Chains A and B, each alone.
Chain A
């Protein structure tokens, strides 16, 4: 899965949940715990990536850019492990 695909899909989830419009991938996300946990569930369900919550905090959701990097990193680690 390409980086832009992941970012676009995350953008859709966050926008539909919060009702806000994200104009750029670097835009600061004012994300709450409800949306944060939904995104974690969504990533696991639709992308097959189990995020390690002990390594996540609110800074992980600073922007779509930052969070996409985290998802990609987990993807790589899980690919290497299997």
Chain B
């Protein structure tokens, strides 16, 4: 059930209408049921899997808080993490690693026929398993008390606006909002409507129209022209941003209308002045998850290794940081999908972040706009790796960018560049104002006539030129 589908246009008003008339406790019950229906609309079969992981995490958290024995608590935590990772491993990664092993063996002339699961990826599995894991980890760390009511806990994990593509909420942020009565106000509904409208515009007008430019380039066989590749990569940078940030904005809007404040997931990432800052602004809920639950504990582990402890503090820190960063970014890359290109995407960013920290006193001296421009182009290099269908395609396209940049062989380049600009122009203007004021709701503070004109323009473009086909959100595949 896509947010911009007819089914959702029927589903949400019913849910919202019931939400307005029910008391808090029954709001939660109804929202939990609605969330299960929402998920069940994608796949009824995987609803059981979803409820199984939910039950394991709920019981593990209750057990952790109910014991004073730290070893038992740790065992329960490991059980919860293992069950989530096992589900994720079986459905998302098992076949990939089995096939990779088969290919590796074939290189040595050994034929193996690995066992493969006959499954499709359950939608949103990477999002809800991470959200569930953060809950049990935070209970173990004593950051939160476990939720006693299984239905309230169920709502925390399954809250439908963010269930299948995030933001990956933390229990410390979302659970208190589930447990306390929420105020639905006209102001929140107004803001929610704006977020939804803007998210819809980003998705169906910008992202889906840019897909028509990007997809044929990546579907074509080599040789490539560097001009075409460059335009496709620039277009993809906005496609993926608008696809994902658009979903997040719609999720934020729907939640806000019901008085729930979701965490900010994108903070104008293409205005970042360096690559480290980019990761503090892009998919914030995921990057902060990896930072808090993987990067920080793993850094402390690496830094305290005996072979590193003999080194001077600066060098030790630098080495420990590089190792930790590489591992974390690689895992973060693989989170996106079971393909080596995603792992390489992570490594690419790890190297860039590490290089930035080694040279930042020089980098930070450059003029701000130049930093933004260079960072954006470095990020685009990552998008090429991310979007390419294989490592070979990355190399072919990279080669074309460096050695076959032939304007004459791309007669429609100007027209395509014009199309890309037409799709992203409004986005850039709005992002610029938001960045300047550091306010994601800057548009709502514009004078009434300008605001009205803006809403009419964006609404018209969405309705007239938006792609309302069944094209799913890119991040659904993760």
B-binding residues in A (CB < 8 A): 19, 32-34, 37-38, 40-42, 45, 53-58
Contact = CB atoms under 8 A, between A and B. Distances in A.
B296 A34 contact: no
| Interface secondary structure of B, over-half rule | helix
Contacts, number: 43
Nearest to A35: B357
Contacts of B288: 58
Given A32-B276, A42-B313, A37 B361 contact: no
A15 B70 CA distance: 39
Interface in B309-326: 313, 316-317, 320-321, 324
Q: Which 10 pairs of residues, A with B, have the shortest CB-CB distance?
A: A53-B296, A54-B141, A34-B357, A38-B317, A41-B317, A37-B299, A19-B361, A53-B300, A32-B276, A45-B313
A46 to B, nearest CB: 8
Contacts of A41: 303, 313, 316-317, 320
Contact of A19 (B291, B297, B324, B360): B360
Interface string B262-295: 0000000000000011001000000010011001
Contacts of B297: 53-54
A75 to B, nearest CB: 18
13 contacts: A19-B361, A32-B276, A32-B277, A34-B321, A34-B357, A37-B320, A38-B317, A41-B303, A53-B296, A53-B297, A53-B299, A53-B300, A55-B143
Interface of B: 141, 143, 276-277, 280, 288, 291-292, 295-297, 299-300, 303, 313, 316-317, 320-321, 324, 357, 360-361, 364
Nearest to B293: A54
A40 B300 CA distance: 9
Given A19-B360, A34-B357, A40-B300, A57 B292 contact: yes
Nearest to A39: B317
Contacts of A32: 276-277, 280, 357
A18 to B, nearest CB: 8
Nearest to B274: A32
A33 B280 CA distance: 10
Contacts of B296: 33, 37, 53, 56
A34 B14 CA distance: 48
A33 B349 CA distance: 15
A31 to B, nearest CB: 10
Nearest to B291: A33
A54 B316 CA distance: 21
Nearest to A19: B361
A19 B357 CA distance: 12
Contacts of B280: 32
Nearest to A46: B313
Given A19-B360, A19-B364, A40-B300, A33 B313 contact: no
Contacts of B317: 37-38, 41
A34 B361 CA distance: 14
A38 B322 CA distance: 12
A19 B364 CA distance: 9
Given A32-B280, A37-B299, A37-B317, 10 more contacts: A19-B360, A34-B357, A37-B320, A40-B299, A40-B300, A41-B303, A42-B313, A53-B299, A55-B143, A56-B296
Given A53-B300, A54-B297, A37 B321 contact: yes
Contact of A33 (B276, B300, B361, B364): B276
Contacts of B364: 19
A27 B320 CA distance: 29
A2 to B, nearest CB: 22
B176 to A, nearest CB: 16
Contacts of B141: 54-55
A53 B280 CA distance: 19
A57 B300 CA distance: 14
B313 to A, nearest CB: 5
A60 B277 CA distance: 18
A78 B37 CA distance: 50
A58 B143 CA distance: 15
A43 B300 CA distance: 13
A41 B308 CA distance: 12
A32 B360 CA distance: 12
Contacts of B143: 55
Contacts of A34: 276, 321, 357
A34 B303 CA distance: 13
A21 B411 CA distance: 52
Contacts of A56: 296
Nearest to B299: A37
A45 B280 CA distance: 28
A22 to B, nearest CB: 16
